[in-house]
């Protein structure tokens, strides 16, 4: 059994599509609804380090707290940005997927395909109607 974790927001279409791609590989991942159960500071730091994105690379900009807190300003340290993300988990961009092959922010959702150990098992169409996996389990190139 492959151990996969997704930091998921069920209200986010990209997150739902990513979860569908994971399940289409035959794996039921550990699903962490990170808005209700945010990662610890150490877990968040590890995720950022494993993705090599830097703290700002994981900061979600199109949310109300981002503007209210003035986070676009470069004066904030990484620790201050982490504090903001932990106080307002909506500031953590998603979905984040952890597999034995790596950790990745899966935007767009197809990014998850590069870190899934198991192949896709059949056709998959995203919620917007875009076919991404054909009936043979192969990625459809656009």
Question: Is the bond preceding 108 in cis, omega lying within 30 degrees of 0?
Answer: yes
- Catalytic, 106? Answer no
The catalytic position among 5, 12, 27, 130 is 12
Q: Are 103 and 96 in contact (CB under 8 A)?
A: yes
Helices (H), 25-133: 41-51, 55-58, 64-68, 78-87
Report the residue count for the chain. 142
**Catalytic residue positions?**
12
């Amino acid at each position: 059994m492959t151990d996969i974790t997704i930091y998921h927001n069920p209200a986010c279409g990209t997150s739902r599509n990513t979860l569908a791609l994971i399940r289409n590989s035959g794996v039921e991942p550990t699903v962490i609804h990170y808005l209700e159960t945010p990662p610890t500071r150490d877990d968040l730091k590890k995720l950022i380090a494993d993705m090599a994105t830097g703290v700002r690379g994981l900061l979600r900009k199109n949310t109300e707290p981002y503007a209210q807190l003035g986070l676009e300003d470069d004066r904030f340290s990484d620790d201050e940005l982490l504090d903001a993300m932990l106080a307002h988990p909506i500031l953590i961009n998603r979905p984040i997927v952890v597999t034995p092959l790596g950790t990745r922010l899966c935007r767009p959702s197809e990014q998850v395909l590069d870190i899934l150990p198991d192949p896709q098992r059949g056709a998959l169409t995203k919620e917007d109607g875009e076919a991404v996996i054909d009936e043979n389990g192969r990625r459809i190139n656009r």
